Each structure stands twice: as structure tokens, then as C-alpha cells.
Amino acid sequence: MNKYSFAISIFALLVSALSLFNAWRANKKAEFRSINLLRLEVLSTYHELESRLLTIKLRAESLISGNSEFYKENSKIDLEFKQEAETLGGLASKLLDEYRKTLCIDKNSVEKLPEKELIVMQRKLISCKHFLLLESESIVKAIEKLSDKVQRIKK
């Protein structure tokens, strides 16, 4: 009886050690997944904002190039509208350049960052996102107003 109880207690000890190891391994996998999720979130937010700024820049540029005939025909208005469109394009371009320079994020650099730095970068992106959305929204509104003015004068 004594031999059996000793064998049973050893077996129970091995089973509990194995379950403890499995719990530890599952915790590590979950931690790894959460870090990867954080990395993906940082990259997607960065690219979302970059694409928004690029779109605004292109809209301003198309306002200039799309109405070049109009500008030539109306030389008096030409200077005013063209300068305003170029200013808006320059603003959007400057915003985009500053954004890229300030954060300079790429997939390789994000994959190498530890969790704490990822969290800091995520917070930076969130605060940057609020500022950029406000700033870019004002540029978009100005582009739309200018485009409306051009359309009204064309008619």
C-alpha cells in the first residue's frame, strides 16, 4: 500500500507540474498575440493617417492641374485661385512631411520594438491622429470651398 501511495503522489505531482507548464505556455502565447496585435494597430493607424494626408495633398494638386485651362482663360482670377490651391497643397504636403519625419515608422522598426515602446508609440499616434484629423479637416474644407468657387465662376 505504501508503494502505491508513493507512486500515486509522484504521478499527481507530475500531472500538476505539466498543467502548470501548460498554463505558463498559454500565458506566453496570449502575451505574444497581444504584442503582435499592438504592432498591427500601430502600423495600421500610421498608414491610415499617412494615406489621409496623401489624399488631401493629391486633391489640392488636382485642383490646380484639373483647372489649368480655366486659370489660363481667366488670368485675373488665375493668380488668386492658383496661389490659394498651391498654398493648400503646400500645407498638406508640409503636414505629411512633418508627420513622416516625426514618427518615421516602418514595419521592420515596429517589429523590433519592445512592448513598452510600442505603447508609447501608440499613444503618440493617437494624440497625433486627433491633431491631424482637425488640421486636415480644415484643409479639406478650404479645398472644397475653393473648388466650389472655381465651379461657380466657370458657370
pLDDT value of position 117: 80
Q: Are 56 and 139 in contact (CB under 8 A)?
A: yes
pTM exceeds cut of 0.85:
no
Phi-psi region at 104: left, alpha or beta (left = phi > 0; alpha = psi -120 to 50): left
Angle between helices 115-154 and 2-65 (to 10 degrees): 20
State how far the alpha carbon of 122 is from the alpha carbons of 103, 105, 125, in Å.
Answer: 11, 11, 5
pLDDT value of position 74: 60
Residue 1 has pLDDT above 60, yes or no: no
Q: Express each pLDDT in 87-111 by its tens digit.
A: 777 777 777 777 767 666 666 777 7
pLDDT value of position 20: 83
